[in-house]
Structure 1
Amino acid sequence: MRYKVVHGAQAKEIVAAPDRARALLPAFIEAAKELESDGVRAITTTCGFLTIVQDEIAEAVNVPMITSSLFLIPMLRRMLGPKRRIGIVTANAQSLSPAHLLAAGIDPGWNLLVRGMESRPSFGSILGTGNTNDDTLDVDETRREVVEVCRAMQAEAPDLSAFLFECTNLQPYAAAVQQATGLPIFGIYHVVNLLHSGVIAPGFARGYL
């Protein structure tokens, strides 16, 4: 694994509006090129709001590159059928704009339910948007908040068929949400595994799973 930090790309800035990510595009491209030079065979990012600059970064490198789990939505819609609803859990529903969705190949007219974590104080400590100066993450409280949001979504939309976690910080709580709701959950974990298995094909000597 190799990591590159794009200085200035703070979560609360990138999530604020699509143009924030585009203003930092040269820095993202530079980081991606450096990773490619280091020998990496696939690249991803830690913020799903970067759909807005997916094409430019992907064109700048010669290895597979994906910025967001939101790119799974068109495939999930095919898997589930267009009439079944998909729930998108995002860091900030107010900031997840039609531009972000369109950049990921998502039609805003699709049967989606989008809800965010922006009002949850413990989750806010991850993004630096919490109400306190303490940046210590309370994992149990954050898990409770994520489960609470997802259960509320399920109650609001009984036809909900799956969850898509936009924010990479939501992935650790997928098991708890699945236990509480019984629904399939998709996110950055699946994107990374897709990339990994594509560039390093499994040999199946020890079985498939």
Structure 2
Amino acid sequence: MKNILLQHKEYPLIASPQLAKELGTAAATFLQKLHFLISENRKYKQKKNLTVHLNRKWWFHTFEEWQSTLGLFSVSTIKRAVAKLKELGLIEINKLSKIKSMRVNYYTINYKKLKQLFGISAGAAKPQPAPKPVSEIIQGTEAPIHTEAAAEDIATIPREHRALYRQLRQYKLDIAHDDPRLFYWEKVSRTVLAYTASAPNRLNLNKWQWHSPEQILPAELIRI
């Protein structure tokens, strides 16, 4: 009776609420399913799709197979989800088949990046580190140093940067409308937004306070 809501040979789709909020339901579901498929001690009827390359497990699927496996999203939606996850560095894609005519994609998860961005680890629970001394806690400000840009200032921002600026401000990133880094961040906007959105959980910040880019973004983005 416990499976009464599922049709024959179906399984429930599961996605982390945190990832679904930050990445969208399709990308979060894809990531969760890929983790299931490449995890150890899993008995799955398509085990032949699993391979090991450079001591890491990879799963082979065509987009049509992903559609069947996920059972909910269109191929175009899955392609967009894969592109987003790849851009953020959360998954890696490789063509590992030795048969040249079989140029299909194999997928694996970058767990280090997953933990870096969202504080999520797939490994066994580990003892939590001792709380940081007060002096090491990243302190924000109650009000931003850079006040919200006026309408006439917004009009001077290139159109493609306005949405990024507004989204970053919604996440309480203390940045000026004329910061030159906005020009470069547009090229990696999803990465910048992911780091900014995950900062409260990743760095244990007060989400109601304002923080500077230097406080929450990695050095490679700050130096751009």
Which bracket does the TM-score occupy, shorter chain normalised?
A: under 0.3
Q: TM-score, normalised by structure 1?
A: 0.26
Larger Rg: 2
Alignment TM-score, normalising by the size of structure 2: 0.24
